[in-house]
Structure 1
Amino acid sequence: MSDRGFVAQLEGYRLTTAEVHYYRPDAPSLLQLFVWQDHDLAPDFPVLFDFLVHWRREIGAALHSVRVAHDALIRPAEWHAVDDIIEIR
């Protein structure tokens, strides 16, 4: 059994986090925050834009702004060459 997120990362998807700032219909003077996270493809972000289309269609809250962070969780290991030998006695 494989994890959907792991398989998505192997296919090029990366962890994407979006801060969605919005106004509630019952309190239009208050700015609210919703944090969304899923695996997505930069720079087009099709999964995020599908979510935002759903938001506009199904949720009665007006969007103020969306801030996006995107990073790879699976990447090549880093290594550094060392010219010294350390003896442990």
Structure 2
Amino acid sequence: MLKPTIMERQLAGYKLATAEIIYRMPDHLDLLQSYIWQEYDLVPEYPELQRFLRFWTDNLDGPLVSVTVGSRELFKRGEWRNAEAVLTLH
């Protein structure tokens, strides 16, 4: 099965989610590192982010300190219109 396009996901209610993940360096636990994660996800459940964080805790050595999440619609349903015509000028 094909993965839905970005447009199809947005029409289904997905929003662009951005998370800043603060974690401890595995070899130097006193040092903190920042990682930015970005993906289209369903708000407020964030299943894609939850899946990524499960992968992180199960497979990576850097313990998580905090996760800050924000999301934004790229367009609203009322802003979407089909084009009546396409004109090309040379």
Question: Structure 2-normalised TM-score?
Answer: 0.78
Q: Which residue of 1 aligns with 2:44?
A: 43
Q: CA deviation at 1:11?
A: 1.0
Cα root mean square deviation, aligned: 1.2
- 1:48 alignment partner, SS class: helix
Structure label with greater radius of gyration: 1
Question: Structure 1-normalised TM-score?
Answer: 0.79
Could you tell me how far apart the structure 2 residues matched to 1:6 and 1:58 are?
32
Mapped pair 1:26 → 2:27: yes
Q: Which residue of 2 aligns with 1:10?
A: 11
Q: Which residue of 2 aligns with 1:63?
A: 64
Amino acid at match of 2:75: I
Structure 1 ranges of 4+ moved more than 6 A: none
Q: Which residue of 2 aligns with 1:81?
A: none
Structure 2 stretches lacking a partner, 5+ long: 80-90
Relative to its length, the structure with more strand (as a share) is 1
Amino acid at match of 2:11: L
Structure 1 stretches lacking a partner, 5+ long: 78-89
Residue pairs, 1:70-85, within 5 angstroms? 70-75=71-76, 76-77=78-79
Q: How many residues align?
A: 75
